[in-house]
Every structure is written in structure tokens, then in C-alpha cells.
Homo-oligomer: A and B are copies of this chain.
Amino acid sequence: MANFDEVKHAKVGSAFKATGKLIRSPKEGQPFELQVCSAEAHMIKLLGAAPADKYPLPQKKHTREFLRTQAHLRCRTKLISAVARVRNNLAYATHKFFQERGFQYIHTPIITASDCEGAGEMLTVTTNLPGPGKPISSMKLLERAGQENEEEKGAEPKISKAYAKKLAKKNAAKAKKDGKPVEEGVAADAGATTEEAKAEAPAAEEEKKEEAPLIPLEERKVDYRSDFFKKPAYLSVSGQVHVETYCCGMGDVYTFGPTFRAEKSDTSRHLAEFWMIEPELAFAELFDVMDCAEDYVKYCLRYVMENNGDDIEYFNTMVDTGLKERLLNVTDKEFTRITYTDAIALLEQHLKEKKVKKFNEKPYWGIDMGSEHERYLAEKVFMGPVSVYDYPKDFKSFYMRQNDDGKTVQAFDMLVPGIGELIGGSAREERLDKLDELMVAKGLVLEDYWWYRDLRTYGTQPHGGFGLGFERLVMMATGIENIRDVIPFPRWWNKADF
């Protein structure tokens, strides 16, 4: 071969072009090799060398922390490329699963002006911030008293007076019956505020006609009217309420897109930017949704076990020797189902019988279970995935369907060994009066949700869905324990490198 000299000194990280004969390797532990001989059609060419003294990833073991600083090169390692291949197939399996079942893939918006489920801190999207080097006096600010942003006007509850009073009365009556004080007084206040605002409105109108006084600089507010979307806008924390509109119009649907949380946490389990899958089933009840969630997880894991056999084998050897057994325990086993009430009773019983020494937080009915409880249930009690359902309504979202017991809602969490909560879902409250009741109790402004409420006003139907953090699924399928290693370019608090 003419150019063997050129290529024989090339080091790891180099790129070649080679033409030859692919044969089964006679060497043990090496499946095949490319024979580049002196035949005319055969050749090997060095396309790009990698200077051995400078290449950041020479052939040795690197820590995952170090690899994160080389996010542009780390997919050249066996570990990170295997993660990428599994991630790819989990994504494709997701689409295959839902498409085969007739679900429509819907792109819900990333930028939203509504804090849809109050799921946490949001990142603001703006063109109003002065760039680096520019003073704040260059920002668009409200100059005079009486100028108003849309959002600020919206700060007063916008439900109708009559409706608020009716709800307040009902809540007060119920509270009296239960012997509890009126819950946060939200509904009772709402009516009053609207009343006051109405009384004040004409006076305010007249004042505006005169030239209002200038506001001192330090008291000025951002003029959101001049922002890109003319009002405060945020990155979506969930596509659920948006995808529900399509579910109520077209039937079974799902989302698969990025979601965001401005959580100031620096842990191995949280990202500021992550991908979520949110299916929504039309004409469905809680158990239909749970069936779908279980089938989906099984389908995805089976798909990668069949299509990423080598990668799974590698993870099982190098990352987590219990991986394959744990995966089979999910794909081949019936999922346990248990109500929240029974699950709490079980935890209490295990404590009493000293099967478990102690929990950091003692379990009791009404507690928002912590990771320790969830993992204990999945890992020690049931030794496999378990779906807990019918949770107390107090710490769950406003849109979940209320049970007749008056205490619980039709929510479920799927708990799996090694991960804890993998999926959260619910039947949605399709009855408008019940929905409003919970929204008001949770201090939400009905008017802000006018279009969500419309779904219950016009042709409402029982439906439900769930959400799965895609990175959790990748962690589960690979055994990788740090979420920063299962997404190509992780973003979290203080980190948006590359």
C-alpha cells in the first residue's frame, strides 16, 4: 500500500477514509476488520490528524465531570455515544408507539404568556433587557403615572362578581359544615376586589386625561407594552393545557418537546432545560391513562433492548451491573397498582413492624410523598414498578378530576426502582363547576384560563394524560445516574456553556 507511511503514526482522534474488504475478524473480542490491501480499489487516507500531545481525550479513562467540560468532543467516547444511540432509539420508539396507536403529534408552544400549571419558577423571554455594556436608562420604561402594562391590569381577579359570590358562599357553607375556616379567603375576596375596581374605574379614566406626573427613575417599571410580545412571556413548563385543546378537538394526541424550569438547584437530577412527552387521551378514564403509560414504558425499554443490545450490554458491564435485570423486571412484569391511601397505610405498617428502621419524614395520610417513600415502595415493598393513584387534592394540580370522597383527585404517579417517580398523570376534571371550584380554592384567576374553561363549556368529555421527563427514561434505560450525562448539552443553574 503506497501511503501506509502517512497513516501509520496517526493517533486516536484522527479521521480516515478507507476502502477495503470487510471480513469477520479472526481475533477474539473484535467482531470484524477492514482489509485494506494493495488491490487497486483499496486505499486508506488520513483526512484529519489529531495532535496526540494536545488532543483533550487521549485513550485513557476520563471522569464524567471532565467529559462535561468537553461537551463538543465527549460523544467520541464509548459511554456518551452509547447514551446518544439509546436516547435516539427511545425517542424513535416514543413516536412509533403513539403513531401505531393513532395518536397525533402536536407541537405545543415553547413561548407562553400563561403560567399554565404554576409548576415552578419560569424563565422570562424578552427583547427588553439592555444588552451587556448598555445602561438601564436605555430600557423601555413606564415614564408617567397611569401608564399600565397588560399583565398589571390583569392582576385583579377577573371572574364575574356574581359567580365569585356564588362560589364564596358555597365554600363558606362547606367550610362551616366541615368546621374549617374559609380557605385563604380567596373566593370571598375576589368579589370584593372586582367591585372596588369597578367603583374606582371612572375616576381613574378622568385622571388619565390630564398629563400625568413623571415617575422618578428608580420607581419606574419595565414597559412590557414595548417588549417583543407586548406583555411578559415565559418559556413553557408543560405543554399539557395546550395539548388538551387538541385532544378535545381531534382525539388522542401527544407532545414531545423541550420544557424549562428556572430551578436554582445544582443536583444530579435537575436540568433547567429538558424534554418532555405528554400524551393526552380522549374519552378516557384514569385506568385507561395508566394502561397507556405502562404500555408505553414497556414498549420503549423493549425497543432499546432489541435494537441497542450492544450498548445495553456495555452499560450493564461498565455502569450498572443490575441494569439488565432491572429492565426485564419492568418489561416482563405486571405493574402493581395501589391507591395513595393504601400505600401510606403500607408504609406506616412497615414502620410499625420495624421492616424499615425510619424515614427522614414520617409518612402519614396527607403527606406529599418524598423520594425516600417512593423508592421504598418500588424497591423494597413491590420490587418493581408501582403506580400509586387517588392522591389528596391539596398538593395536586387544579385540573385533576375530583373523586366523590371530596378528599382525593384522580392523579397517579408511576414509581420505578432506581429512579423514583418516572411518570405523573391524571384524569382531567371535565366538569366545569368542579374545575372552577378547585381553581378558585387554589387562588387562580378564572379569566386567565378562559380558553381552558371553554373546553368544558363546549362539548366536554372525560379525558386524561400523563407527562414523562425524557431524560429520566434515558437514565432508566442506561443506568447513568447524573442527568447531565444523558442530554448532549445540559443547561442548569449558572450553566449554559457551549
Q: Among residues 272 to 318 in chain A, which have CB atoms less than 8 Å away from a CB atom of chain B? A: 272-273, 275, 283
Q: A110-B258, A230-B494, A250-B81 are in contact. Are A125 and B235 (CB under 8 A)?
A: yes
Name the B residues within 8 Å of A283 (CB-CB).
17, 47
A84 at the interface (CB under 8 A from B): yes
Tell me whether B88 and A488 are in contact (CB under 8 A): no
A23 to nearest B CB, angstroms? 21
A419 at the interface (CB under 8 A from B): no
Name the B residues within 8 Å of A114 (CB-CB).
498
Tell me whether B137 and A218 are in contact (CB under 8 A): yes
A55 at the interface (CB under 8 A from B): yes
Name the B residues within 8 Å of A104 (CB-CB).
84-85, 88
A53 to nearest B CB, angstroms? 12
Of the candidates B92, B129, B246, B260, the one whose C-beta lies within 8 Å of that of A126 is: B129
A66 at the interface (CB under 8 A from B): no
A403 at the interface (CB under 8 A from B): no
Q: Among residues 121 to 152 in chain A, which have CB atoms less than 8 Å away from a CB atom of chain B? A: 121, 123-137, 139, 141, 149, 151-152
A245 at the interface (CB under 8 A from B): yes
A238 to nearest B CB, angstroms? 14
Task: Report how far A471 CA is from B149 CA in the complex, Å.
Answer: 32
A414 at the interface (CB under 8 A from B): no
A497 at the interface (CB under 8 A from B): yes
Q: Among residues 32 to 69 in chain A, which have CB atoms less than 8 Å away from a CB atom of chain B? A: 47-51, 54-56
Name the B residues within 8 Å of A235 (CB-CB).
125
Name the B residues within 8 Å of A108 (CB-CB).
488-489
Name the B residues within 8 Å of A452 (CB-CB).
72
Tell me whether A109 and B489 are in contact (CB under 8 A): yes
A4 at the interface (CB under 8 A from B): no
Q: Among residues 374 to 428 in chain A, which have CB atoms less than 8 Å away from a CB atom of chain B? A: none
Tell me whether A229 and B494 are in contact (CB under 8 A): yes
Task: Report how far A125 CA is from B17 CA in the complex, Å.
Answer: 42
Q: In this complex, which of A87, A128, A458, A487 has the most chain B Cβ atoms within 10 angstroms of its Cβ?
A: A458
Q: In this complex, which of A51, A151, A217, A228 has the most chain B Cβ atoms within 10 angstroms of its Cβ?
A: A228
Closest to A57 in B: B458
Name the B residues within 8 Å of A249 (CB-CB).
73-76, 81
Closest to A259 in B: B110
A462 at the interface (CB under 8 A from B): yes
A161 at the interface (CB under 8 A from B): no
Task: Report how far A220 CA is from B218 CA in the complex, Å.
Answer: 11
A319 at the interface (CB under 8 A from B): no
Tell me whether B220 and A498 are in contact (CB under 8 A): no
Per-position 1/0 for A439-460, Cβ under 8 A of B: 0000000000001101111111
A480 at the interface (CB under 8 A from B): no
Tell me whether A127 and B121 are in contact (CB under 8 A): yes
A119 to nearest B CB, angstroms? 16
A401 to nearest B CB, angstroms? 14
Q: Among residues 90 to 134 in chain A, which have CB atoms less than 8 Å away from a CB atom of chain B? A: 91-92, 95, 99, 104-114, 121, 123-134
A196 at the interface (CB under 8 A from B): no
Q: Among residues 327 to 381 in chain A, which have CB atoms less than 8 Å away from a CB atom of chain B? A: none
Q: A123-B125, A249-B75, A283-B17 are in contact. Are A218 and B135 (CB under 8 A)?
A: yes
Q: A73-B249, A105-B92 are in contact. Are A132 and B47 (CB under 8 A)?
A: no
Q: Among residues 165 to 224 in chain A, which have CB atoms less than 8 Å away from a CB atom of chain B? A: 217-222, 224
Tell me whether B135 and A460 are in contact (CB under 8 A): no
Tell me whether B129 and A128 are in contact (CB under 8 A): yes
Closest to A220 in B: B136
A326 at the interface (CB under 8 A from B): no
14 examples of A-B residue contacts, CB within 8 angstroms:
A47-B462, A54-B457, A55-B458, A72-B452, A72-B454, A73-B454, A91-B95, A92-B99, A92-B105, A114-B498, A123-B125, A130-B222, A133-B221, A217-B217
Q: Identify 5 new A-B residue pairs, CB closer than 8 A, beyond the known A48-B460, A217-B218.
A: A75-B246, A107-B487, A134-B221, A136-B139, A229-B496
